[in-house]
Amino acid sequence: MTDYNYLGLVNNINRRLNEVELTSTNFSTAVGWYSQCQDAVNAAIRDINQQQYEWPFNHVEQTDTLVAGTTRYPIPSDSKLIDFDSFRIKEDATIGNDTIRLGVATYEDYLKRRVDQEYTTSTTKRGLPKFVFQAPSLEYGVTPAPDASYELVYEYYCLPVDLELFSDVPSIPEQFRYVVVDGAMYHAYLFRGNSQDASIAYQKFQSGIKSMRSILINRFVYVTSGMVSRSSITGSSLGSAFATAGSVSDGF
């Protein structure tokens, strides 16, 4: 059985510093140095999470059921970053809609062109939502206002909570346990006033985070060129492009 949990991480610090290890029995009543070890583990985890907004282990897929006539919906309280490009309406055979991805509109554009949908009981302004916008009040909104209970799916990155119980397991994968421990050792050495060892532990910690980022974040599967050959652009094609852009704007 793995000991990759709060207790195991705290005891990693104790073993490195030749201290008596805690048990599941006395973990919750620990004081002094042992309480500091607990704080050090949580501090290291917070440091890791603050280094990158989009750690894949903090990724969440959220499903909300829309309410007919309701435009705005609360953003999850544990969200750090909402991926507004991920919003889509799920296919529903009962309602009769296909899966569609929502476009992203600015809040200002919504206020200028569609805000009246919030202040009317008329059903003529309702329909299958096609756009999503971010409101300044920790909410997102959809337009048109829904005319049925569509299922909306989107993705976000959450704010992890501190570990509390001895059996709590970090969201950080176990393969990066050594990074958490190096970060915790940095905070533990600072508590003891050992600045030299703290500096060494901090360097190892930052190197570990760099490795995590390389493995989990820096993945380039392909690159798409946006370059357009000058010879391929004609007056008529430019006019067509602007006409297309105008039609998209009108659709909102």
Strand-pairing partners, residue 64, are 152
Q: Higher confidence at residue 236 or residue 144?
A: 144
Res. 236: pLDDT tops 50: no
Per-residue pLDDT at 53: 87
Place of tokens 């829904």: 146
Q: What is the mean pLDDT of residues 104-118?
A: 95
pLDDT tens per residue across span 47-92: 999 999 899 999 999 999 999 999 999 999 999 999 999 999 999 9
Q: Higher confidence at residue 226 or residue 183?
A: 183
Strand-pairing partners, residue 154, are 62
Cα within 13 Å of Cα(251), Cβ side = 14
Radius of gyration from C-alpha coordinates of the chain: 25
- Answer left, alpha or beta for residue 52, where phi above 0 means left and psi between -120 and 50 means alpha: beta
